[in-house]
Amino acid sequence: MIEDDRSKDMCPICKTDRYLSPNMVFLINPECYHKICESCVDRIFSLGPAPCPYPKCGKILRKNKFKRQVFDDLVIEREIDIRKRVNSIYNKTEEDFESLESFNSYLEDVENIVFNLTNNVDVEQTTKDLNKYEEEHKIEILEKNMRESQKNADFVKYQESIAQLKHEKMRIQQQMELEDLEYQRQQKQVLLDKLASNPGGSSEELIAQSNSNILKRSSLRKRQFQQLTNQLDQRIQTSNPFKRGRSSESDEVGSSTPFTPFKGDRDLNKRYTLLDTGKTDADVSTGTYHDPYVSGLAKNKEFLGAGWRLELVFERALDEAFMGMGCFIDKEKELKAEVKLEGGDGISV
């Protein structure tokens, strides 16, 4: 263990130890993945390509290919490099394919190539194929790269605009707060003046009046602010190319049946129709369930905060009300008994 640690922290060429020169850095070359310290790289390779100094390696290395090691495990480091290289050539995405299946088979091909290269299976043939593909699809690859970078730029733009929006909102809010403070001070001053000018009048009334004024104004302001932010939100929504696509997608997912572990999909046609449990009591025409106790709970913030919902209570009760209503045990079990008799000695469960 100790041996290992020490060899890990020591350049095998110049035998410099990390203990003695703490800011030394190891570099590797994707040709042979041998570890060499930075000063050795400078010393050996600054005059042009040279063979690897490791005994029995002898591969010709260039200085500009040296890079820092990211992963501790060199096998992984190597695989990542190969993956990067292959992916830069096979750079199609799902939208380039007509069906999911063809995309999946494409991905499988890519995976095969990566596997062959990392595990040294058929390296020659695979490299040849890879080069051939690159040669043949050069223009496509370039185009794809261009599109991707465009997309990335779009995304960056979008993020920027979101940040800007946030900033704008903050600014408006701050400004409004300042104005409000100013207004309140003014009101106070007005009130004091009024109180001073008519000493005979009832002071309570005046105070109440000014308070209600302030309240009215603040609620108005709140609404104004809400409107402004809504406008801003909308503007960003319409100009955003990403959001729209996503929302339509989520709609699709919502309408399909959820996964069930029950050998078949859950029957979504319930035997009942859940009435609207909207909070407005005035809307009686569509109907709502009447249960004062449970509805009372629905006003309790502690319940709501924990995720408790009124309609879930109703839904569960209704579900259970029809869970087994059509199971006529007398008949079904009798049937089973007969089957068992006919079947003779089966394995009993």
> Which residues contribute to the site for other proteins (CB under 8 A)?
260-267, 270-273, 275, 285-287, 289-291, 314, 316-330, 332-334, 336-337, 339-340, 342-343, 346-349
Dihedral pair phi/psi, residue 137, rounded to 5° = -110, 25
Q: How far is the CB of 332 from other proteins (least distance, A)?
A: 8
Give me the least distance between CB of 308 and other proteins, in Å please: 16
Q: How far is the CB of 248 from other proteins (least distance, A)?
A: 25
How distant, in Å, are the alpha carbons of 183, 187, 199, 211, 214 from that of 204? 21, 15, 12, 10, 15
Question: Rounded CA gap, 199 and 197, in Å?
Answer: 6
What letter does residue 10 receive in the DSSP assignment? B
Residue 51 is inside which H or E element, if any?
strand 50-51
Q: Any idea how long the chain is?
A: 349
Helices 100-118 and 74-89: angle between axes, nearest 10 degrees? 140
Shortest gap between Cβ of 275 and other proteins (angstroms)? Answer: 5
Closest approach of Cβ 104 to other proteins, in Å? 19
Amino acid at 148: E
- Between CA 199 and CA 205, with CA 203 as vertex, the angle to 5 degrees is 135
* 256 C-beta neighbours (distance < 10 Å), count: 8
Give me the least distance between CB of 262 and other proteins, in Å please.
Answer: 4
Of 60 and 317, which CB lies nearer to other proteins in the complex structure? 317
CB of residue 103 to other proteins, shortest distance in Å: 23
Count of other CB atoms within 10 angstroms of residue 28 = 21
Minimum Å gap between C-beta 291 and other proteins is 7
Burial environment of residue 246 by CB neighbours within 10 A (0 to 12, 13 to 18, 19 or more): exposed
Give dist(CA 199, CA 225) in Å, integer: 39
- Write down the least CB distance from residue 315 to other proteins, Å: 9
SS3 8: helix
Look at residues 236, 225, 231, 224 and name the one whose alpha carbon lies nearest to residue 163. Answer: 236
Q: Which residue number, 140 or 319, has a Cβ lying nearer to other proteins?
A: 319
70 vs 337, beta carbon nearer other proteins? 337
DSSP codes joined into one string, 288-328: ----HHHHHHTT-HHHHHTT--HHHHHHHHHHHHTTTTT--
Q: Which is nearer to other proteins, 233 or 334 (CB)?
A: 334
Smaller CB separation from other proteins, 19 or 293: 293
User: In this complex, which beta carbon is closest to other proteins, that of residue 278 or of residue 287?
Assistant: 287
**Nearest residue (CB) to other proteins, 273 versus 280:** 273
Q: Does residue 31 sit in helix, strand or coil? A: coil
Question: Nearer Cβ to other proteins, position 201 or 287?
Answer: 287
Burial of 263 (0-12, 13-18, 19+ CB in 10 A): exposed
Q: Which of 45/314 has CB closer to other proteins? A: 314
